[in-house]
Amino acid sequence: MADIIQLLPDHVANQIAAGEVVQRPASVVKELMENAIDAGGSTVKLIVKDGGKTLIQVIDDGVGMSATDARLSFERHATSKIRKAEDLFNLNTNGFRGEALASIAAIAHVEMQTRTEQDEVASHIRIEGSKIIFQEVAVGPKGTSMMVKNLFFNIPARRNFLKSTQVELRHIIDEFQRVALAHPSIAFHLYNNGSEIFNLPSSNIRQRIVNIFGGKTNEKLVPVQEETQVVTISGFISKPEFAKKSRGEQFFFVNNRFIRSPYLHHAIVAAFDGLIKKESHPGYFLYLTVDPASIDINIHPTKTEIKFDDEHTLYAILRSTVKHSLGQFNVIPALDFEQDQNLETPYDYKNKSAHQPGVIVDAGFNPFKEENWTTGGRPNFQKQSTKGWESLYVGMESQGNKNHEFSSVSFESDTITGSIFDDSKIGVDSVTTTFQLRRKYIVATIKSGMVVIDQSRAHQRVLYEKFLKNITVKGAISQQLLFPLSLTFSKSDRAIIVEIQENLTTIGFVFEAIGEEEITITGVPLSVPESGVSMILEQLISDYQQDFVVDGFSQTDVLSKTLAKSLAVKTGEMLDSESQLALVNDLFACKESQLSPFNKSIYVTITESDIDKKFM
């Protein structure tokens, strides 16, 4: 039998390795920026075009490389970080496996120009698909410039799987923020299509957070600091009242490396238990410093997951530290039963002396005098004549002892949520009798028995199809706000709003301006209350961050689902009989009445035979 096992060519092996290292342009950004930081750069510039599909360039002023090192850096498993296996357990740098540049060069056009401080000229290398085109000397500053063009040019299938430019740019911004937050002492710049998005000077952690997420973030932050033998924790958490629907502002850094850890995230949520709503998420920027020998950072290709030796101890320390910070800075409300609030002096009167009140009495005033006092504006107390009192009862002739005037008297009942549907829709003959069960279900009679409807899911379906129609035909009506509404979002969140602005406009939102930090809204759809605009937009941003949908129907679908879920009748709301009937008839007028927009059953049918079986 002939031998069938053979060694793969280097360029094929590099393309396979690229599948693990490079998933999208943001992966290239992460690897190149980490290399620039390991090179000791004090200023790092990131330049992208078309969401990184056309160009990704990272420029640093680090130590640079010699001509020999520049050539060897593109070989597989070429690294300056480790020499022996034991070094893997004492890593203090970001890149160490030596696969990044080789993998990137296998699926893109790469140009590198680098120069050390001792060399007089720089080294310029160009590689296309693992093939070296040229290497020559050039004139350039100290440091390294990496330019990656036409990502996945030789793998069309991978390039077709890339998302739109806006979505890829959003991923790049996320990676940029993670690296910038991990290294506040380094200045970072981000340029997209020639325009500057971020200009982050060298600063401390708090200033770096404010520079990235906006000036109003400063008032939300609560410092966290704890030092133990196991871990040193520092950073900031957000106050409970600023908890959001989205998970955007949640960052863990271990030894200046961004990681994801659902286990440690649960410790933060447990510390906030009872302070925020269940569907809200706390924000945090936490920096953990541990012994490099106690963690394994090489268990995941992107190095965003870390294995800890003692996770349980770390969980307990992190949870108690966050709780301590919440209490130490008076974030948790406290009651003092020994203090009498009535005895406290208001601040306005703290340094003022007591003022003796005075009473002014008119000694010459006599209310029983009959003369007409006109001076001083005092009233005339003279008794008026009672002549002509009969005229007060003109038109009130007796019509017999009829009591029909009280036949239309009505009495107030319990407070019922107002009708949420137009009365013109009521009157469909499909359902004639309904009643509400436990403020959650609507029970309606039908020919074969009865149907039990979940009122929240039913309203979601009705609103979902309504919003889909409005976006499609662009026939929504907007109500203008008396005062413009200004909302603050981070740059990444604002990018999502800009991306879906057109669809938001078609359903009734009117945007006056979208600034660097604030978005001004002057009009909202008829069914959206002004107080709920911020919550709806936050929920919308959260859904887009999870689904990463962009084009055509997907974007419209997510937008309609979010609005329907936010505006639908909730469990616990009482509906009057007209609204119940309208909801039932509108539900069965929908194209799909059995499932909610989230593929959950809306109603169940109980036939007469099912009821008869209960009595057997």
Task: Give how far the C-alpha of residue 590 lies from the chain's centroid of Cα atoms, to the nearest Å.
Answer: 31
CB 292 within 8 A of CB 91: yes
Q: 78-92, 131-145, 323-337, 355-369: which range is least confident on average?
A: 78-92
Residue 539: CB partners within 8 Å, gap ≥ 6?
A: 245, 246, 562, 565, 566
Query: Please, what sign has the CA dihedral across residues 66, 69, 74, 79?
Result: negative
In the chain, ranges of CATH 3.30.565.10 domains: 10-200
Mean pLDDT of 487-514: 82
Q: Which residue has the higher pLDDT, 359 or 51?
A: 51
% of the chain with per-residue pLDDT over 90: 25
SS (H, E, C) 50-112: HHHCCEEEEEECCCCCCHHHHHHCCCCCCCCCCCCHHHHHCCCCCCCCCCHHHHHHHCCEEEE
AA letter at 130: S
Q: Which residue has the higher pLDDT, 382 or 19?
A: 19
Whether the predicted pLDDT of 348 surpasses 70: no
pLDDT score of 189: 95
Mean pLDDT of 158-179: 87
Whether the predicted pLDDT of 517 surpasses 60: yes
Q: How confident is the model at residue 427 (pLDDT cuts 50, 70, 90)?
A: very low
Sheet-wide strand order for 510-514? 478-488, 518-525, 510-514
Tell me the average pLDDT of the chain: 80
Q: How many Cβ atoms sit within 10 Å of the Cβ of residue 266?
A: 13
Instruction: Single out the residue of 602, 540, 600 nearest to residue 566, CA to CA.
Output: 540
How far, CA to CA in Å, does 115 sit from each of 33, 34, 41, 134, 263? 17, 18, 13, 17, 44
SS (H, E, C) 362-381: CCCCCCCCCCCCCHHHCCCC
Whether the predicted pLDDT of 139 surpasses 80: yes
In the chain, ranges of CATH 3.30.1370.100 domains: 434-603
CB 85 within 8 A of CB 71: no
Q: 150-159, 194-203, 330-339: which range is least confident on average?
A: 330-339
| Distance (Å, whole) CA 69 – CA 61 | 17
pLDDT score of 419: 44
Instruction: Single out the residue of 246, 247, 245 nearest to residue 262, CA to CA.
Output: 247
Fold of the domain spanning 207-328: Ribosomal Protein S5; domain 2 (3.30.230)
| Distance (Å, whole) CA 515 – CA 494 | 9
| Distance (Å, whole) CA 323 – CA 268 | 9
Mean pLDDT of 489-498: 80
pLDDT score of 243: 85
Whether the predicted pLDDT of 426 surpasses 50: no
Residue 230: CB partners within 8 Å, gap ≥ 6?
A: 290, 310, 313, 314, 317
| Distance (Å, whole) CA 35 – CA 64 | 11
Class of domain 10-200: alpha beta
In the chain, ranges of CATH 3.30.230.10 domains: 207-328
CB 47 within 8 A of CB 57: yes
Per the DSSP assignment, residues forming a β-bridge with 437 are 441
Q: What is the pLDDT of residues 68-118, one digit of tens each?
A: 888 888 887 776 666 555 555 566 666 655 578 888 888 899 999 999 999
| Distance (Å, whole) CA 223 – CA 205 | 11
Could you tell me which CATH number the domain at 434-603 has? 3.30.1370.100
Q: Which residue has the higher pLDDT, 17 or 567?
A: 567
Whether the predicted pLDDT of 8 surpasses 70: yes
**What DSSP designation does 276 have?**
S
Q: What is the pLDDT of residues 375-418, one digit of tens each?
A: 455 555 555 566 666 666 666 655 555 555 555 555 555 555 44
